[in-house]
């Protein structure tokens, strides 16, 4: 099965993120550091409708982190990811803007998968592990 956003992931080793039981349904997210287009960035993974979804922790409106407390991304009804700065809301299933100043934008998805009680994220050419000792080979350009 091909995961959305995993088109360039095959050349890079999966990164272990956490245990499955650390991600409660519509609960607190797990944060992790990445290098996105050679710049340090934060990302997050959470469980929604039973699936693990992961995105760059960066609002489409202004490139700032979304969470209103570390790891807290969902609104009061636990239905949308909400930006703590100006209240843009995003559909957790696909990262698309659902309201507010994010317009037609969507969050940058990071492919994630769950296997044998563990959650992994899949680095790509553009989004790589922050720890260079676990990074895959540099892409040939």
Residue closer to ligand FES by CB (options 3, 62) is 62
Residue closer to ligand FES by CB (options 8, 84) is 84
Q: Does 28 bind ligand FES (CB under 6 A)?
A: no
- In order of 27, 46, 50, 88, 119, the CA distances from 116 in angstroms are 20, 17, 15, 35, 8
Q: Does 83 bind ligand FES (CB under 6 A)?
A: yes
CB 93 within 8 A of CB 47: no
Residue closer to ligand FES by CB (options 45, 88) is 88
Q: Site map for ligand FES, 42-81, x if CB under 6 A?
A: -----------------x-xx-x-----------------
CB 137 within 8 A of CB 11: yes
In terms of Cα–Cα distance, which of 48, 46, 82, 80 is closest to 65?
Answer: 82
Tell me phi and psi for residue 9, to 5 degrees. -80, -20
- Name the site residues for ligand FES (rule: CB under 6 A): 59, 61-62, 64, 83, 85-88, 100-101
């Amino acid at each position: 099965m091909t995961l959305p956003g995993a088109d360039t992931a095959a050349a890079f080793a999966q990164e272990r993120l956490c245990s499955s039981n650390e991600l409660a349904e519509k609960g607190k997210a797990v944060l992790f550091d990445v290098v996105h287009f050679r710049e340090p960035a934060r990302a997050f993974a959470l469980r929604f409708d039973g699936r693990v979804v992961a995105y760059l922790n960066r609002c489409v409106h202004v490139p700032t982190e979304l969470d209103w407390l570390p790891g807290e991304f969902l609104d009061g009804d636990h239905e949308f990811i909400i930006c703590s700065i100006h209240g843009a809301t995003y559909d957790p299933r696909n990262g698309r803007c659902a309201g507010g100043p994010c317009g037609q934008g969507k969050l940058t998805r990071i492919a994630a998968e769950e296997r044998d009680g563990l959650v992994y994220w899949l680095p790509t050419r553009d989004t790589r592990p922050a720890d260079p000792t676990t990074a895959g080979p540099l892409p040939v350009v």
